[in-house]
Amino acid sequence: MFAARWLVTPDPLLNYLFLARVFALLSLVAVALFAAQYHFGVAAVTGFWLVPAPTLPALAYALFLHSRARAAARAAEGGEAAGGKKKGD
């Protein structure tokens, strides 16, 4: 049995698509700061890319949970349709 099932179970109260968009924006900032430091040699931004860098794995995690939440919603919607219930009843 998987002891940390809560890590991969999406919370229905959270909007994981919104979180993924915020993390994507912050990841873009991290990549831009990294490029400014190492590719363009801007000394004023040295090390600043480390602040938003943890959003890269957080983006992957939010997208993973978003896909699991959508799959669960589709399965629940399909179960209602198979049970003969109409939407809105």
Q: Write out pLDDT tens, residues 27-46.
A: 999 999 999 999 999 999 99
pLDDT tens for residues 60-84?
999 999 999 999 999 988 876 655 5
Does residue 57 fall inside a structural domain? yes
Does residue 5 fall inside a structural domain? no
Number of domains in the chain: 1
State the residue range of the domain holding 31.
Answer: 15-82
CA distances from 39 to 8, 63, 68 (A): 37, 29, 37
Q: What is the pTM of this model?
A: 0.80
> Crossing angle of helices 16-38/55-82, nearest 10°?
160
Does residue 4 fall inside a structural domain? no
